[in-house]
Amino acid sequence: MTRVMIVDDHPMVRAGLRALLSNTVGIEVVAEAADGYSALHRAALGGVDVVLMDMMLPKLDGIESARRMRVQSPDVKVVMLTSHLSAEAVRSAIKAGVSGYVLKDVSAEELAGAILSAQSGKTWLHPDAQEAVVNAVRSPVEQDWRTRLTGREVSVLKRIAEGKSNKEIAKDLGLTEGTVKGYVSAVLAKMGLADRTQAALAAAKVDLK
């Protein structure tokens, strides 16, 4: 029997999860907590195998709670249950030592599967969480902005990287200063940068063709 503690600051959510898992073979809900500190205290008392933890908790958030749980109670597995999805959130959770990342739209069967996988020493990631991480790896920031720049914008960026002024760029490309200024604004927006110095530094790290 896998003994589970539910950690969420909303009593109705805890009650719902308890009811959802009550009919699941091999799982028993043995404890509840409303915040990270309470969860750590209860886990330290023993008798808990898996913690089903919300990411957004008062006093001590889910990520930090999972990180401390790993040190304090290394035999206890943590499954993050959240509605928050981003590659950074998934990576932070994994670095904190969680054994599962589950979105709140999963079925009872999927939730039980994540809990039992954690107990058996495996990691369970929601398909959307897997996709978020894979996409982040496939599309690094520098490649992302490069795919959005037009040929003319790349030409402008090259000259920004060379330290040229708008007037000099305009002369090189046969454009007016006003037009160049518009291109510079577009380049900065697509790169997500605040000024041309940052743009020049970013451009220097990649091969602009």
pLDDT attached to residue 53: 96
**1 alpha carbon, distance to own chain's centre:** 31
The answer to whether residues 31 and 42 touch, using CB atoms and an 8 Å cutoff, is yes
**Whether residues 123 and 188 fall in one domain:** no
pLDDT attached to residue 149: 83
pLDDT attached to residue 96: 92
**Whether residues 115 and 178 fall in one domain:** no
pLDDT attached to residue 172: 92
152 domain-assigned: yes
Structural domain boundaries, residue 174 = 141-204
Phi, psi of 104 (to 5 degrees): -70, 0
pLDDT attached to residue 182: 87
Q: What is each CA distance from 200 to 25, 159, 183, 188, in whole angstroms? A: 59, 9, 14, 10
For residues 46-76, b (16+ Cβ closer than 10 Å) or e, as one string? eebbbbbbbbebeebbbbebbbbbbeebeeb
pLDDT attached to residue 205: 78
**Whether residues 6 and 64 fall in one domain:** yes
The answer to whether residues 149 and 156 touch, using CB atoms and an 8 Å cutoff, is no
Q: What is the CATH number of the domain that holds 193?
A: 1.10.10.10
pLDDT attached to residue 115: 96
pLDDT attached to residue 191: 82
Q: Reduced to 3 states, what is the DSSP secondary structure of residue 122?
A: coil
Q: pLDDT (tens digit, 0 to 9) for every residue of the chain, 209 residues total?
A: 999 999 999 999 999 999 999 888 899 999 999 999 999 999 999 999 999 999 989 889 999 999 999 999 999 999 999 888 777 788 889 999 999 999 988 888 999 999 999 999 999 998 888 887 776 665 555 556 777 888 888 899 999 989 999 999 999 999 888 889 989 988 888 888 888 888 888 888 777 76
Total number of domains constituting the chain: 2
Q: What is the CATH number of the domain that holds 58?
A: 3.40.50.2300
106 domain-assigned: yes
209 domain-assigned: no
**Whether residues 165 and 69 fall in one domain:** no
**Whether residues 195 and 159 fall in one domain:** yes
pLDDT attached to residue 51: 98
**142 alpha carbon, distance to own chain's centre:** 19
Distance (Å, whole) CA 19 – CA 12: 10
Distance (Å, whole) CA 208 – CA 13: 51
